[in-house]
Amino acid sequence: MRLALFDLDNTLLAGDSDLLWGELLARHGAMDVERVQRFHDDYHAGTLDIEAFFDFQLAPLARHSWEQLDAWREQFVDELVRPRIPPAARELVEHHRAQGHELAIITATNRFLTTPIAREFGIEHLIATEPEIEDGRYTGRVHGVACYRTGKLVHLNHWLRSRGLDYGDLAETWFYSDSHNDIPLLSAVEHPVAVDPCPRLAVHASKHGWPILHLRRSQGLTTH
């Protein structure tokens, strides 16, 4: 199997879905967007307390009904996500699809938010942080480990095992990401690609000879 893995935020999406979701909920009085921004800044600085972040980020899922959450999520995708998908990101996905590669989004963002985004790309497989559900409601906690940093390797291994596979069954692997937080997974695949990388990842990619891809330029797919 040839597997193409894609990070979501600031990679396939020209923006951060957690931050955008926080902005939407702040409009409805359901979240403090300033705290969202502080967590966002910590993520880019490499100092994010992932447990504290998810305690905060998942709390609205536990406080509100499925009907309300679904309505907000539909608004989120329509108003904030779909306009931020660069044409070149869709082109990249279709490039791999046309070659018959297996496609998966792998993201730290929780499954509730990212399921419709994966659907927007026509990508069946989504590897994401799992919000815990008990008695038909979200608890506000993470089920298992967060799909973050080395947690992405944990989640990828679990996903492969669930399909009766392991790394030895992969003929080729690609991973596209913007963030230095994804260096563990980028280092584990055969074809790591830095996409519109943050400064720390740009330095690391250049040092290791990884391709750098720009998806937000109007002329489409470009590398250097």
Is residue 9 flagged as an active site residue?
A: yes
- Beta strand pairing status for 137-143 and 222-223? unpaired
Give dist(CA 61, CA 50) in Å, integer.
17
- Nearest Cα to Cα of residue 109 among 212, 4, 6: 6
Calculate the alpha carbon distances from 97 to 87, 124, 172 in Å: 15, 11, 14
Is residue 16 flagged as an active site residue?
A: no
Find residue 194's DSSP bridge partners.
177, 212
Catalytic residue among 9, 16, 18, 182: 9
Please say whether the dihedral angle defined by the alpha carbons of residues 204, 206, 208 and 212, taken in this order, is positive or negative.
positive
- Nearest Cα to Cα of residue 102 among 181, 24, 156, 46: 156
Give me the active site residues, please.
Answer: 7, 9
